[in-house]
Amino acid sequence: MNVYNGKGGHEVGRLPSQKACEKHHSKRRRHVVVFTDGCALGNPGPGGWAYVMRNGRYKKKESKGYYHTTNNRMELMAVIAALESIRDQHADVDIYTDSQYVARAFTEGWIRKWRASNFAKRPNADLWRRLDALTDRLRVQFHWIQGHSGIPENEQCDRMAKQAACHPQQDDRGYTT
């Protein structure tokens, strides 16, 4: 599978095992691994996001559905919700997403240019501002993974996001047509 290596290129390899992550990060900061996904049925239409997070033996998963939104907003919301749930201000966080829209903003440095313009004329500026503030608080590295490629946590997020989209519970207040 292809994974962004954080330098704009690709690495071909396997995702690190939990044991390898724990060993690598045990003497430094807390290491959190997060998988995210978002979807919209109709785009725009009902949408949902989901994340699966693991930190050592601790595992957390969450999803939420919205009545009317877009796929890109749900991809962003999945990452935002996951990062907002991390209480350790000094955590190292690896985000695995199948959204090139989200991953490339960070791995290719687009976010710096958007920040310089205060996200002017940027679609989903409300969410990009929230995500930018969260990535300042935590040490976050983004990794792009191919969707529907058999990665269990990504497949789980996909199912959870679709289920949430099928049973929306709230409005996406930032979405405008």
Domains and CATH numbers, the chain: 2-166 (3.30.420.10)
Confirm whether 6 is a catalytic residue. Answer: no
- pLDDT above 90 for 123: yes
- At 23, is the secondary structure helix, strand, or coil? helix
160 or 24: which leads in pLDDT: 160
CA distances for 110 relative to 1, 79, 114, angstroms: 24, 17, 6
pTM of whole model > 0.75?
A: yes
Cα 53 from Cα 62, distance rounded (Å): 9
Cα 131 from Cα 82, distance rounded (Å): 10
Contact between 174 and 76 (Cβ < 8 Å): no
- pLDDT above 70 for 110: yes
Q: pLDDT tens across 49-60, in order?
A: 999 999 988 999
Q: Who contacts 110 (Cβ-Cβ below 8 Å, separation ≥6)?
A: 104
Confirm whether 171 is a catalytic residue. Answer: no
Catalytic residue among 65, 92, 94, 98, which? 98
Residue 2: pLDDT band with limits 50, 70, 90: very low
Cα 35 from Cα 50, distance rounded (Å): 8
Q: Work out the percent of the chain whose per-residue pLDDT is above 90.
A: 77
Confirm whether 75 is a catalytic residue. Answer: yes
- pLDDT above 50 for 46: yes
Q: pLDDT tens across 51-103, in order?
A: 999 998 899 999 999 999 999 999 999 999 999 999 988 899 999 999 999 99
pLDDT at site 53:
98
Confirm whether 148 is a catalytic residue. Answer: yes
Q: Please, which contacts does 56-61 make with residues 24 or more away whose CB atoms are closer than 8 Å?
A: 56/18, 56/22, 60/85, 61/156, 61/160
